[in-house]
Structure 1
Amino acid sequence: MSSTSPPKIKKKRTLKSPLQQHLLQGTDLGILSAIFLVPLFLGGRLGAGQLALFSTAGVMALCWLTFQSLDESPKYRVTRFEPILILAALLLWFQCAALPPDWIAMLSPHIGETLSLWQGNPEATYDLGGWSSISLTPAATRQGLLFLIAYTLLFIVTTQRLRHVDDIEKVFRWMALASLGMATIGLAQYFFGNGRFLWSYAHPTITTDGSAKGSFTNGNHFAHFLMLGAGPLLWWIMKESVAETETRTHRSRRKEFQYQNERPFLAWTLMAGMGVVIFAVLMGLTRGGALALAISLSVCVLVCWSRGFISARLLGGLTLGGVLAGGALSLYGLEEVSTNLNDWEVDRWLIWEANLKIANDYPILGTGLGSHFQSYRSYLNTPLFESRFSHAESGYLQVLSETGIVGLSLLSLAMLFPLYWCLRGLQFSETRQEVILFAALMGSFVANYLHAIVDFVWWVPACMTLLLIQAACACRLYQITRRRHESRKAEEPVVHFPRLIVWGLTSFAALLCGWLVQESVGVWRGEQEFQAFQRKALINVEADDSMGASVGSSYARAENTDNGFSPEERQAYAQRQVVEQVSLLIHASLKNPQDAELRYRVAEGYLIYFELLQSKSDNPMSTPQIRDAVFASEFENVDDMQDWLKRAFGNNVQFLFAAFQHTKAAIKLCPLQGDAYLQLSQLAFLDGAGPDSVERCLQQAQQVRPYDADVLFELGRFEWSQMQYDEALEYWKQAFHQEIRTQKRIIRLVAGPLGPAKFLKIFEPDWQALRRIVQQYRLLKDESALKEILPLYAERAIQEAGRENNPEPVRAWMQAAVAYQELGQSVNAERCLVAALKRYPNEYQLHETYGKLLYTMNRMEESEKELRWCLTYQPDDVGLRKRYELAQHKRLQSKSPIRLTSGQPSESGTPQ
């Protein structure tokens, strides 16, 4: 036995039965699964990852409780962390529990101000009753509670299983291997991948391209997982690199260790593995992950150095590993990595500001755990187009906005426990073995806490499970060192239970785990159906140009909308696609009925299908037209209205009612969905609502989504229908720069009626929007509008071509030239092309366009020259060769005119 090993405490050990040994092995298998299996399912974020996590926690709990029930003296080792876990569970339960209105008004008064349609006002012509929970996404909060239960089981059972330092070291080796394995997968996938996760799973919206990700959705979470395993890996390196012979010098009280390892190959292999981990983190192209890794290793080395457990040779080996990682980085992506590390995203500051506003409005208990994806959109007033923030880019801000001051206080207390265990444990530690273990844990905790400032890493189950296992290791190591430091054979803080109570707890745990697994199976199966729906490329529906219509026009695949298909074939194809896609959504919602956004999508699909059926029926009225007809008819009761709908529209009306039911269900699951209120404004008449329900639903949509482009667009349409044109244009002006899809809808709707001058003055389009406006006028074949707008378009195109960092300057030059050609200004078009060719002399498209332009200008000799140049690159282009032969033939028949010598745009940037 080495001199650095902790003294063994003699215990009376009882032999375990084979069944008990198998139960202990099952518990160990659960810890292994949490470390190695859960991360493979996109870091545990997939439904399959949730199922793996819940099953793992359940198996661990049942194995351990069954083991205890068979033990001679069942006991529970107290961690003193239990009150935090219990309070956290009570907080989440309280957030999603049904509460009296007075409690809601007292604890979260802003809910009443935001949900005006939920006040249960008997004087209102239409409302949705009263909102009764603190959480604005109670289903998501309930799901968060399930995760908390699984995490609690994982932490508690791990602390019970780790009896000795040897057990902790075994878990450390597992975590180190998991980190090294994930780093290897990430690098192999990055350099030799096929875009699929683990070369097999193709996510509908995420690929493995762009950076090293491993089995995570982005490089940041991947890097954080590696960071959590880097501390245990460094511990393993130090354990294998330094011999177990301790010496002292008369000049220093520091301990020195001789390098006499019996397994040098393993030590150097582990050092090379550390280099792989460092390189993988850097190839993840994430600032936060790289800094977290640096902090973790630095804290670990600093703690060991302060206790004299770092040798110069070991430092040299670690430095060599860093140098190797840097050398590999210089070969692959050094410039890209440095660019990403130095670039600070503006989006992060914006979402932080939005979360601070949420916390200001919901200070005590927040908006509910898991509500961020819905709640932030009530506060973010920035045109980020299609960007969506699943989390707050800061763990602390997200906890504050979702759980308020109460939740943040609990989090702060929870974070103090691991730090206390490590700091106090270091004071009690008397051996090198224990100091290095505590140092590795301390580095992980400090880096985790600091990384959480700029990312919500606790949102990723794989990272959270590894952190909890390390917290369990810190707790047990502290208890072991403290007990030895007290120099007495005092019993550990344990609670002994009668066997009957343990069996009762085992039965309860079985029911609890069965419930967890059942819930996760529903999420997993629903997710499979939803991803099948996503793969069919169902994109957001866009309204027709006509006011009041909402028939989707973009559900057919792009390759099936070519000129080879008739309008009837396109409509039939679109109908088949909608049927398939809505069917997938229905199956997904049946398996996961608590997903609010999924229920809304089902409602949207039903409504689209109804509109498609109506468009080819004998009575082709759209939903808004049906609504207006019902309002005008003033039926005495809902039954009379429904009878009329069935007579007028036959079986089609069942899909309208289905859309209405799913819309209401979606809103009840989450009252922050602005799109759902927009849909409700069209369908509330089915519930007997009057004409003013339209305005009330739109106002509610505006309250929960004041900056949403779709909401602003529909508000504009409503004001336009009320002949409030100035108000309508003001809403549309706000929506114009928020989202590209809505921008296109506004252009299609009002570009023609307003005319170019007024449209440009009101909406102030940027270059991309100006391109869409010109495209719309071309589709309308509005010659007068084109004559008015094309000069400005050409001038802006020239400016865009000269803009620094423009990724498509050639395209801008071409657009300017085409605009001048449409205006009949061939000379200006030529000047643009000549200027572009001077900058990009080998651009094929410029030469081809210039050759065709010269042909139209009857300058055959020059046209022949340009087209001949093009034929050297495209000799098989039949149309190009035919034009070249015609130019050659005409040149031989007549003399070419004198060539233009100017060839440059004017100083102002606009050809004259």
Structure 2
Amino acid sequence: MSAFTESIAAPKPRRQTPKHQRGTTRRRTSAPSVASEQSALVARLDQLGDGCVVVAVLVVPMMSACLQDLGNAIFVACSLLLGVSWAVPQIVAPRQGSAASGAEFIVFAAIAVVCLQLVPLSGATLKAFSPFADDYLFLWGSERGRVLGGHSWNTLSITPSLTRSGLVLLIAYAVFFLVLVQKLTSAERVDQLIRLVAVAAAVMAVIGIAQRFAGNGLFLWMFEHPFRAADFPVKAAFSNQNHFAHFVSLGVGPLIWCWHQSNLSQQSAFTGKQQQTSVTLRRSETTRNAALVAIAIVSLAVFLTNSRGGILVFLLASGVAASVAGLNLRMLMKLIIPALLFAGLGILAYGTDGLEHKWNTITRAQSLHDLSQGRFALWASLVEAIPHFWKLGSGVGSHAEVYPTWLAEDFGVRFSHAESGYLQILLETGVAGLTLVAAAIGLCMYWIIGTFRRSQGTARSRSLILVAGLVASVAHSLVDFVWYIPGCMLVTIVLMAALCRNFQLSDTSSSQGGESRWPQALAWGLVLCMLPVGNLSADVAVRDAASEDDWNLYRKFAIHANDNVAADSPESLNERLDVIIQHLENCLAADPQDYRSASNLAAMYLRRFERQQETGSNRMSIREIRNTVQTVGFESAREIAEWLNRAFGPRSADLYRALTTARKAVRGQPMRGENYLILAQVGFLAGLSENEEEHLVAQAIRLRPHSAGVLFVSGLFLIDKGDIEGAIEKWRTAFLQDAHIRSLIISSLVPNLSATEILEKLSPDHTGLQSLFTAYAADKRTDDQQTVAAWYAQNFERMLQDPNVSRDRNFWLQGHQMLKFNGHEKLALYCLSQAAQAAPHDFALRRSLGLELFRHEQFDDALRELKWCRLKTPDDTKINEAIKQISNKHRSRGES
């Protein structure tokens, strides 16, 4: 893209003056010299601003997968540099700019709302705006919660550190938009910006396809994501294929604009409306062909994402943008047919399995709830949460901390965002924030309607191109959180700025900005606010970026450590814990306000202590240590520390680390119920009484009433008090939700209760039954095994009614094992055959099926399975012997 700067006229050569006038002339020509230097400075600053725009649009989205915090820091820096590079020349030598557009009021109101969320408020004021703290954070400011510091919660934001980061990003968006509007001084510069977005979309699509067919699983061939591969589905530089599809949907309109403009240029030349050289014609033809190829590549890339929502919004944006061709069907066919052919051939060459799976998911779904999986449950929880924060919200960035209080179903994932931009904005900023969003959408509608009313031709076509991406953004945000992805949001802002200026420039009846005082006021405002805003931005953005690498490594190792833990030795798991803890400690060292790392670190300290205790000489659990301390009645915290050091050595330091870190975490993220439980577990180090521990547990349950981990630990406290029935009541829900918690509950109950008692109290599902069956087998309690197997057989038909269960291979394998143990041979064989159908390429499974069929004298079916297995392992003696015996039986039958 050519630079945004306008050409600056070269200074005129000086006239030769007579000798007797030279002294005077030298003094008089000093002013033009200063003006020349001033013009050069203005040009360099203008080029710097243009460079910032290019970096923001082309580079920042490339960092969306693995380096998003660093990308945010770069964008913040680009935005502030853009503001300075425009504001300083505007003050020194005022130039023509854009008049106020109306968006300024929305921008400043949005910043004011977020700032208000961070301002400490009195108890009465806070309750007037948000009664949530009084109802849910009842330990804050109470004597019962002295371990929390004794201070009441005093901000609207439940997560002030995350809201502060959101404020910095919001300010960067605001500066970027307001200054970009001023820099677009002509329609040509608007077109340059549109071409920049087109290039960004085309480059991103090429990267996505290249990573699919020539990638190494890493993003941009360099960066590893903790739990996502870059090759499939196609994601390009985004961690989520939906967001990649959205990004190119924002750019398909600008690509169509490039194609449309080159077509018009050639038509004008052929009709004689414009005199163009052969070089210009060749350039127009090259641009048209390049745009067509880019549109085809982008179309293929979108379809390879397998994203239902992404494909739909891409088609929507393409349809709106293609309307620039009007009723010219021939021109439309030239655009649509090549793109469809290329995308179709690419999909056929690649394979249609992914798209067929998505289509089958849609056609087989019986309701929107089935189609959206966990989205409806998440949205239902947000509908319950929003009334507690409806005025000014729970704080920007707080969604992930708030929704678990109301989400009753566990999906095994943490919803970082609300899967709907509108719902998340309503939760985090209340009615005030959603009203501003509606005002922004309404203002964009005003701009496009105004453009159509007062202009013709190119301005109308340009507005259609720009609004195509904005329509995609507004529609996609209903079911996704694309506004919370900076790589997508900044391009949306670019389109809005271009739409605003296209509207203003279409008004040829009035001068644009010459008489407006707004550009000068904006310039002075940017300069005066740059120091405090720059300090805040540097502090927050740099700290966020500094801890990002270690955070990603922590997530990577944590995921691997949780995989197949049972197969690992305690030593290897402890080594992983050391690595995990080191990365979390690095996060906190780089960013002391990284409270999410502090929360996880406190839990990791306790886990490491427990793991070390399992192999130590004095194998006391934390519960036993707490009960011992409370029973003995040490006189001071120092005596407790001395006893712990004598009993457990240096590893007892992890208990104190957990206490300190949990205190820090709960003060920055008070919604995490797990932190209160950690304080309750190790609070004896600070002399907490049993009553105070109970209040901490109650606070945890209030904030995380459906968390399996919280329910399990709270049940342990009830067991310590002798309330087994109360503990089982807590565990009944947790038992069904989480496999790890289920194993902990079973290990706590199996030594003390019979199978009949556990089955009656917990009513486990098929996975719980399998866990119980395995636990009693390890304990060599055959009678209890028989009881579990009989229960499974009695409820087998009922369990089959769940369509999700019937497609689970593990369900059929478990059924085979328990039904066979219980003597239901035929039903067990049926389960094994269903498991083989669910996994037709599993050699071990089909081998077992073949041998079982042979044992049950179902020779024809057995021969089919065993012959398939022999192709894999020709030397397997059991398979060969079974095939030989079947052949002999067939031969003997034939002779008879």
Band of TM-score, shorter chain: 0.7 to 0.9
Query: Residue 678 of structure 2: SS of its match in structure 1?
Result: helix
Residue of structure 1 equivalent to 2:391: 364
Q: Does residue 1:441 correspond to 2:466, yes or no?
A: yes
Structure 1, unaligned runs of 5 or more? 1-9, 248-259, 541-553, 562-569, 901-912
The equivalent position to 1:872 in structure 2, one of 870, 875, 881, is 870
Alpha-carbon separation, structure 2, partners of 1:835 and 1:84: 59
Residue in 2 that maps onto 1:233: 255
Distance in 1 separating the partners of 2:833 and 2:467: 65
SS of residue in 1 equivalent to 2:479:
coil
Q: Displacement of 1:319 after TM fit?
A: 2.9
Which sits farther off after the overlay, 76-85 or 689-698? Answer: 76-85
Q: Which amino acid aligns with 1:485?
A: S
Q: Is 1:223 matched with 2:245?
A: yes
Partner residue in 2 for 1:89 = 111
- Tell me how far 1:229 sits from its aligned partner: 0.9
Find the residue that maps to 1:136 and give its secondary structure. coil
**Structure 1 171/681 Cα, relative in aligned 2: closer, same or farther at 3 Å?**
same
Give the superposition deviation at 1:151: 0.8
Q: Could you tell me which residue of structure 2 aligns to residue 534 of structure 1?
A: 555
Q: Residue 72 and residue 810 in structure 1: after superposition, are their counterparts in 2 closer, same or farther (change >3 A)?
A: closer
Cα displacement (A) at 1:843: 7.9
Show the 5 A alignment for 1:459-538: 459-482=484-507, 484-486=508-510, 491-495=514-518, 497=520, 506=527, 509=530, 512-513=533-534, 515-537=536-558
Instruction: Give percent identity, aligned residues only.
Output: 27
- Is 2:163 the counterpart of 1:141? yes
What is residue 197 of structure 2 aligned with on the other side? 175
Contact 1:281 1:290 in 2 (8 A): yes
Normalized per residue, which structure has more helix?
2
CA contact (8 A) 1:607 1:659 kept: yes
CA distance in 2, matches of 1:97, 1:835: 61
Equivalent pair of 2:292/2:335 in contact (CA under 8 Å): yes
Asked if 2 retains the 8 angstrom alpha-carbon contact of 1:51 and 1:520, the reply is: yes
Aligned residue number for residue 789 of structure 1: 788
User: Are 1:410 and 2:436 counterparts?
Assistant: yes
1:881 counterpart (877, 887, 890): 877
Q: What is the match of residue 547 of structure 1?
A: none
Residue of 417, 420, 436 corresponding to 2:446: 420
Look up the match of 1:320.
Answer: 337
Cα distance in 1 for partners of 2:49, 2:836 equals 71
Aligned equivalents of 2:838, 2:469: Cα separation in 1: 53
> Cα–Cα, structure 1 residues 492 and 470, in superposed 2: closer, same or farther, change >3 Å?
farther
- The letter of the residue matching 1:424 is G
Shift of 1:399: 0.7
Q: Distance in 1 between matches of 2:673 and 2:304?
A: 39
SS at match of 1:117: coil
SS in 2 for 1:284: coil
| Residue pair 1:238, 1:314 contacting (<8 A) in 2 also | no
RMSD: 4.1
The alpha-carbon deviation at position 784 of structure 1 amounts to 0.8
Mapping of residues 184-333 of structure 1, within 5 Å? 184-243=206-265, 263-302=284-323, 304=324, 311-324=328-341, 325-326=343-344, 328-329=346-347, 332-333=351-352
Compute the displacement of 1:70 (Å): 4.7
Does 1:401 find its partner at 2:427?
A: yes
Distance 1:823-1:454 versus aligned 2 partners, 3 A rule: closer
Task: Give 3-state SS (helix, strand or coil) of 2:422's partner.
Answer: helix
* Structure 1 residue 370 displacement after superposition: 0.6
DSSP-derived class of the 1:689 partner: coil
Give 1:680 shift.
1.1
Q: Does the 8 Å contact 1:801/1:809 carry over to 2? A: no
Provide the aligned length of Structure 1 versus Structure 2: 837
Q: Secondary structure at the match of 1:204?
A: coil
Asked if residue 456 in structure 1 is aligned to residue 481 in structure 2, the reply is yes
Work out whether residues 182 and 226 of structure 1, in 8 Å CA contact, stay in contact via their aligned partners in 2.
Answer: yes
Letter of the 2:700 counterpart: A
- Equivalent in the alignment of 1:714: 713
Q: Confirm whether residue 765 of structure 1 aligns to residue 764 of structure 2.
A: yes
Determine if contact 1:394/1:452 at 8 Å carries over to the other structure: yes
Shift of 1:20: 2.4
Any residues of structure 2 matched to 1:895-906 within 5 Å, and which?
A: none
Q: Deviations over 1:661-687 (max 9, x none)?
A: 110111011111011111111122223
Mean CA deviation greater in 66-75 or 750-759: 66-75
Does the 8 A contact of 1:709 with 1:742 survive in 2? yes
Does the CA contact (< 8 Å) of 2:98 and 2:513 recur in 1?
no
Provide the rounded CA distance (Å) in 2 between the counterparts of 1:126 and 1:521.
29
Change (3 A) 1:792 1:191: farther
Q: Does the 8 A contact of 1:864 with 1:884 survive in 2?
A: no
The alpha-carbon distance between structure 1 residues 885 and 607, as it changes in their structure 2 partners (threshold 3 A), is same
In the TM superposition, residue 428 of structure 1 has moved relative to its aligned partner by 2.3
Partner AA of 1:213 in structure 2:
K
> Structure 2: which amino acid aligns with 1:318?
L
Q: Is the 8 A contact 2:451 2:506 kept in 1?
A: yes
Q: Establish whether residue 115 from structure 1 lines up as the match of residue 113 from structure 2.
A: no
1:654 and 1:506, CA in 2 relative to 1: closer, same or farther beyond 3 A?
same
Worse-matched range after superposition: 24-33 or 801-810? 801-810
State the Cα deviation string for residues 43-83 of structure 1 (Å, max 9, x = none). Answer: 69722222221222133223223433553669885444223
- State how 1:657-676 maps to structure 2 within 5 Å: 657-676=656-675
Determine the C-alpha separation between the residues in 1 that align with 2:698 and 2:60. Answer: 44
Q: Which residue of 1 aligns with 2:82?
A: 60
> 2:66, 2:223 within 8 Å by CA — same for their partners in 1?
no
Counterpart of 1:705 in structure 2 is 704
Alpha-carbon distance in structure 1 between the residues aligned to 2:66 and 2:107: 21
Is the Cα–Cα contact under 8 Å of residues 659 and 683 in structure 2 kept in the other structure? yes
Provide Cα deviations, 1:601-635, integer angstroms capped at 9, x if missing partner: 11122223333455555654332223223322444
For the structure 1 residues 219 and 840, does the alpha-carbon distance in structure 2 shift closer, same or farther, using more than 3 Å as the test? closer
The alpha carbon displacement at 1:406 in A equals 1.5
Name the residue aligned to 1:774: 773
Counterpart of 2:723? 724
Structure 1 residues 335, 809: closer, same or farther in 2, change over 3 A?
closer
2:93 is matched with 71
**Which residue of 401, 408, 422 maps to 1:381?**
408
Identify the range of structure 1 (153-162 vs 749-758) with the bigger mean alpha-carbon deviation.
Answer: 749-758
1:346 aligns with 2:373: yes
Does the Cα contact within 8 Å between 1:134 and 1:367 map onto a contact in 2? Answer: yes
Instruction: Measure, in 2, the Cα distance between the counterparts of 1:227 and 1:831.
Output: 49
Give the match for residue 382 of structure 2.
355
CA contact under 8 A between 1:797 and 1:815: conserved in structure 2?
Answer: no
Query: What is the TM-score normalised by the length of structure 1?
Result: 0.82
| Within-5 A mapping of 1:554-569 | 561=568
Q: How much does 1:411 deviate?
A: 2.0
Provide the TM-score with structure 2 as the length reference: 0.83
Q: Any idea what SS the aligned residue of 1:695 has? A: helix
Distance 2:208 2:517 in 1: 43
Give the Cα–Cα distance (whole angstroms) in 1 for the partners of residues 491 and 763 of structure 2.
51
Unmatched tracts of structure 2, length 5 or more: 1-8, 13-34, 270-279, 366-370
Aligned-pair CA distance for 1:360: 1.2
- The letter of the residue matching 1:241 is N
CA distance in 2 between counterparts of 1:192 and 1:697 reads 54
Cα distance in structure 2, aligned partners of 1:85 and 1:720: 55
- Please give the per-residue CA displacement for 1:121-161, whole angstroms capped at 9, x wherever unaligned: 47989874311111111111111001111111211221222
Displacement of 1:441 in angstroms is 1.7
| CA distance in 2 between partners of 1:746 and 1:72 (Å) | 72
- Decide whether aligned partners of structure 1 residues 337 and 122 sit closer, same or farther in structure 2, where only a CA change above 3 A counts: closer
1:463 deviation in Å?
1.0
Q: Are 1:36 and 2:58 matched, yes or no?
A: yes
